[in-house]
Amino acid sequence: MAMDREELMTFILDHYENPRNYGAREDAQVVKKGGNPGCGDIITIYLKIDDEGLIKEVSFEGEGCILSQAATSMITEMVVGKTVDEVEAMSSEVITDIIGRDLAMTRPRCTTLGISTVKMAIKEWQRKKMLDEIEKEKAL
């Protein structure tokens, strides 16, 4: 069901004022920073992924415009319980589908900061996992 403009603004503002999964994770396997230098949006993504590639926990910290922080909050809710492959297959349209094309296109970098940073964190996790496997093979 599509939201009308007022419902959408209330929804976005709620995610900004009460961000989901907010805060640092000491037990995160990957910590990845992302940002938009042009407008000052900054986030840090904390990921915990199991051995099968299932995202068990995600959180973020950040500051910036309402749209970047709210969209990142929305993304954290969407990726928990998904595999890294499922998240990598997500396009930036995943947020556009929620907030609408008109709003998303006014600030595309703000809108996609969360999903792009989560994907960068996954790439880092995959790299670390591959390096760990190489080290284990060397040890044999």
Q: Are 121 and 76 in contact (CB under 8 A)?
A: no
Which helix or strand (DSSP H or E) is residue 57 part of? strand 55-63
pLDDT over 90 percentage in the chain: 86
Q: Is residue 1's pLDDT more than 70?
A: no
User: In this predicted model, what pLDDT tens digit does every residue of 104-128 receive, in sequence order?
Assistant: 999 999 999 999 999 999 999 999 9
Which helix or strand (DSSP H or E) is residue 62 part of? strand 55-63
User: In this predicted model, what pLDDT tens digit does every residue of 21-39 receive, in sequence order?
Assistant: 999 999 999 999 999 988 8
- What integer pLDDT is reported at residue 2 of this predicted model? 66
Give residue 80's domain range: 5-139
Is the pTM above the cut of 0.85?
yes
CATH number at residue 20: 3.90.1010.10
Number of domains in the chain: 1
